[in-house]
Amino acid sequence: MERGNDTQISEFLLLGFSEDPQLQPIIFGLFLSMYLITVFGNLLIILAITSDSHLHTPMYFFLSNLSFVDICFTSTTIPKMLWNIQTQRKVITYEGCITQIYFLILFAVLDIFLLTVMAYDRFVAICHPLHYTVIMNPRLCGLLVLMSWIINILNSSLQSLMMLQLSFCTNIEIPHFFCELNHMVQLACSDTFLNNIVMYFAAVLLGGGPFAGILYSYSKIVSSICRISSAQGKYKAFSTCASHLTVVSLFYCTMLGVYLSSAATHNAHSSATASVMYTVITPMLNPFIYSLRNKDMKRALKVFFVRGTV
């Protein structure tokens, strides 16, 4: 399409999951419930950790950061979708779309970085237990989280600024419930070669790199556990990282499933449905995984509720 046909688009239409009016109240109720569970569940994790001095350790410091990021992650998309259903309007402004893309990329990749840092924490705890407190000191923990934020802010800024360089024509319908970077690039009628290069390079570097780090950490962890002679010792060592391994598997498997399903079917609506898994379901399940499988968290939550009732 020629450059002369480009027009300045001021807003887009988020088509969501279904245009059937009878399904809208069901979708609204379902997503409102999941959003509230996500926010309150992760908020409880943060409050329990901050209020219990026994949980002021590197592992729980990273977990509280992960819970905060999960709240922000879901808050980037779900409130807007609920507002659109309630007002029966599917419009999102151009500025709102770019802002949503910025925070989606920021919190999604930040999730990956924090999961990687937590894997490193478990690696040090199991493979180098005698040096754990020296290696995982408060300064290093703070530095790891700070660097994760800085790297992802720079990445999100770059991706968003490159989006601003694109021109959009008459096709303003987004077959999704939020502004997803890949969909937006596909809607553009200007040259997207550089955007695609940067997008895929960032995916490999910031997605594949941390995943390789997680695999390396767990290969060393499994090797160390196998060298433990007693069955009780093996169980205790594995139980310390079981929750994290479950969350990592859930997050990466759902993200991989989304992109494999969208690539295989080329169906935008099925891709939007699959995206719910990592944008809503995974952040909602994280508090349950960490609280139900963790005795320290169970105790901290009980203490927190007892204090609240006094």
Residue 246 has pLDDT above 70, yes or no: yes
- Round to whole Å and give the CA distance between 277 and 282: 6
Q: What is the pLDDT of residues 262-287, one digit of tens each?
A: 555 556 666 677 778 788 888 999 88
Average pLDDT over residues 147-170: 92
**pTM to 2 decimal places:** 0.90
Find the helix or strand (DSSP H, E) in which 96 lies. Answer: helix 94-127
pLDDT at 107 over 80: yes
Mean pLDDT confidence for 140-165: 95
Range with the largest mean pLDDT of 4-13, 278-287, 294-303:
278-287
Please give the average per-residue pLDDT across 230-236, as a whole number: 81
Q: Look at residue 22 in the predicted model and tell me its pLDDT.
A: 83
Dihedral (Cα; 66, 213, 145, 132), 10-degree rounding: 100
Nearest CA-CA partner of 32 in 105, 81, 73: 81
pLDDT top residue among 306 and 3? 306
Which are the contacts of 46, defined by CB distance < 8 A and separation ≥ 6?
Answer: 64, 67, 68
Query: b vs e for 136-175, b when ≥16 Cβ sit within 10 Å of the residue's Cβ?
Result: beeebbeebbeebeeebeebbeebbebbeebebeeebebb
Instruction: Name residue 206's amino acid.
Output: L
